[in-house]
Homo-oligomer: A and B are copies of this chain.
């Protein structure tokens, strides 16, 4: 269900075709929701049927066509309702913590190498999110530029700050995870 809301949120910035959306959602780790191309096209058609978005067929050259989707009033309303509603937390399903739960069953140095890979991975994510956060604060991403066009200039700073703060959240969580993994390394040695 959330893919639909993610798509609505992106299309609220500006109309896009399936290909653009695919690039956006496949470039994922940097963003908050990822989806493969094969999921995006059928979902867009579903959403159009539901009246949440509207497709406009365009032609490039003579034979190549693309369908540019824009959010409808109904899509906007659906998105706003979803945004204003608290949703139940997803069921616990964290493969990495599951793995860590049984580290006592393997040799400490093997567990340590898994932890080190995890730390590197979290740091990589932190770096990407930091860059994205900076770009948002500077109002330099493609999407935020589009979005701000339809908002009063007085609100621009606040909007950018709110969006950037989400990535600060991702950074905080990944940092906490990496820090936890470092403590685990110390525990393994004991």
Question: Which residues does A use to contact B, with CB under 8 Å?
Answer: 2, 5-6, 9, 12, 28-29, 31-34, 79-80, 82-87, 89-107, 110-111, 113-114, 117-118, 121, 125, 155, 158-159, 161-163, 165-166, 168-170, 172-173, 175-177, 179-180, 183-184, 187-188, 190
Contact = CB atoms under 8 A, between A and B. Distances in A.
Contacts of A177: 169, 172-173
A142 to B, nearest CB: 15
A29 B7 CA distance: 29
Given A95-B87, A173-B177, A102 B33 contact: no
B83 A9 contact: no
A102 B9 contact: yes
A53 to B, nearest CB: 16
B6 A84 contact: no
